[in-house]
Structure 1
Amino acid sequence: MEAVVEAVLFVASEPVPESRLLELFEEPDRETARRGLAAVIQRYRDGQSDRGRGVMLDEAGGGYRLVTRPELNPYLRKFFDANQSNRLSMAALETLATVAYRQPITAPEIQEVRGKNSAGVLKTLLEKRLIRISGRKDVVGKPFLYATTRDFLLHFGLHSLDDLPPLEEFEEAFLGDGDFAGDGVEKPADREEEVLRQLALLEEREADAGESDDEEAGAPDGDSGDSRDSGDETWPGPGRRVVGVSGFAGRDAAAFGEADAPADGHGPEGTGEGQEEER
């Protein structure tokens, strides 16, 4: 059973839930199979203290996956070319945080929070499958509603949205002294009982300060240096990346739930005239 579980987790491009693993074994007694699987997982975890292994078992997104050991990140950086960073820009982080804490939310509402036209950033986040279009708001114009995806959870190693931290902690980790909520806009408090500490730590480890400078230097005209990363062989960031058929699938996993784009093929709607669009 242990070999089967390890092989499945190795080839899987996304976390495999316990129920799916149990389906692999013809065990008439479901509870016996569940205890057997739990023992396998525990044995694997116990063996993770062996530094001779390059991967370790991780639980995220409601399932299990194999990830690379954090101490091997320097070697993986060299392999994936550390000069090409897949880290999110400041504009993308601001927009993603706005969606995460206020979802579902429309593009005009995001613009009100950030004070900037975010259509270009929304399109980039849709392409990266970190957000999705979850429907339309029942108001004049019926603008699209945006929400985070399961890939958002996987990217930051979160089990659910309940792991989001207080908004102030997110701002301190990413935005410094700036307040992305803007003047006169109330900060959301409904998810502030749980912490997004994992988000801050994981994203912080994805690149050092020099990589941030490189990203801004290569960005198109705009105020925040938000760039649309496109190479498939760029370094996806250290740790917590699935090893398997799709390699480091933290950024490549298929989107879950509703489609990333509406049926008519249109991208994020415009949010105002005469304003420069961030991209």
Structure 2
Amino acid sequence: MPDRELLAAACEAILAVAGEPVSEASLVKALGPEVTEAEVREALSLVQSRHEAATSGMRLEKVAGGYRLATKPELAEFVASFLGVRAQTRLSQAALETLAIIAYRQPVTLPEINFLRGVNSSGVVRTLLERKLIRVAGRKQVVGTPLLYRTTKEFLVLLGLHSLSELPSLEELGETEAPVGS
């Protein structure tokens, strides 16, 4: 078994350069055959405790089936200033409505989205595709064979979720029978 500190440092280095969430299995594979998932979990716990300190600008997040290093929210304005961009990308109300429909009813077709919202949503769907928050998931086997849409890993990352099961239930949100766009 490698040194606990070295293993934690190796996990931290991998997460720092990955650019996307990394699963425990991927870390085990990268760290070699003598490293177990339990040792990786212990190393990640050590990384997390290091980053919980007030002097750290980073935090360890568990999202989209893996782990990533992210800047602490309270430092967002400094990071945004450095990058020369707005601190947070905003989604329009129409995009949020459409994304919610897709997240809760996936896979879903554009005609179904249009019906639920009560308006044509093709432009919004195109924008969500461009932003990689949704993807085409095949075609529905009905007349016209419309495209089916579902959410992506980027959607989970944006919301800071590990999986779709972490979404609140429709009952918790106070589901209504009226179309969302009415």
TM-score category of the 2 structures, normalised to the smaller one: 0.7 to 0.9
* Cα distance per residue 1:218-267 (max 9 Å; x no partner): xxxxxxxxxxxxxxxxxxxxxxxxxxxxxxxxxxxxxxxxxxxxxxxxxx
Q: What is the RMSD of the two structures over their aligned residues, measured on CA atoms? A: 2.4
Which residue matches 1:131? 134
Task: From the two aligned structures, give the one with the greater helix fraction.
Answer: 2
Which residue matches 1:16? 22
SS in structure 2 opposite 1:24?
Answer: helix
How big is the shift at 1:152? 0.8
**Does 2:32 align with 1:26?**
yes
Output aligned runs, 1:45-124, within 5 Å. 45-81=48-84, 86-124=89-127
How big is the shift at 1:88? 0.5
How big is the shift at 1:34? 2.6
Q: Which runs of 5+ in 2 are unaligned?
A: 1-6
How big is the shift at 1:130? 0.6
* Cα distance per residue 1:58-97 (max 9 Å; x no partner): 1111111101111112322333446585210001001111
Q: Is the 8 A contact 1:171 1:180 kept in 2?
A: no
Distance 1:81 1:25, change over 3 A: closer
Find the partner of 1:147 among 136, 147, 150: 150
Identity rate, percent: 46
| d(CA) in 2 for partners of 1:9, 1:83 | 24
How big is the shift at 1:120? 0.5
SS in structure 1 opposite 2:19?
Answer: coil
* Cα distance per residue 1:194-216 (max 9 Å; x no partner): xxxxxxxxxxxxxxxxxxxxxxx
| d(CA) in 2 for partners of 1:12, 1:83 | 23
SS in structure 2 opposite 1:112?
Answer: helix
| d(CA) in 2 for partners of 1:168, 1:110 | 20
How big is the shift at 1:26? 3.1
| d(CA) in 2 for partners of 1:106, 1:49 | 43
Specify the code of the residue in structure 1 equivalent to 2:18.
A
Distance 1:96 1:17, change over 3 A: same
Which residue matches 1:258? none
Which residue matches 2:12? 6
How big is the shift at 1:165? 0.9
| d(CA) in 2 for partners of 1:85, 1:78 | 12
Task: From the two aligned structures, give the one with the greater strand fraction.
Answer: 2
Output aligned runs, 1:173-188, within 5 Å. 180-181=179-180
Specify the code of the residue in structure 2 equivalent to 1:103.
Q
Which residue matches 1:262? none
Aligned length: 175
Distance 1:17 1:85, change over 3 A: closer
Which residue matches 2:3? none
Output aligned runs, 1:162-181, within 5 Å. 162-167=165-170, 180-181=179-180
SS in structure 1 opposite 2:132?
Answer: coil
How big is the shift at 1:146? 0.9
| d(CA) in 2 for partners of 1:94, 1:72 | 29
Distance 1:170 1:131, change over 3 A: farther
TM-score w.r.t. length of structure 1: 0.57
Distance 1:35 1:147, change over 3 A: closer
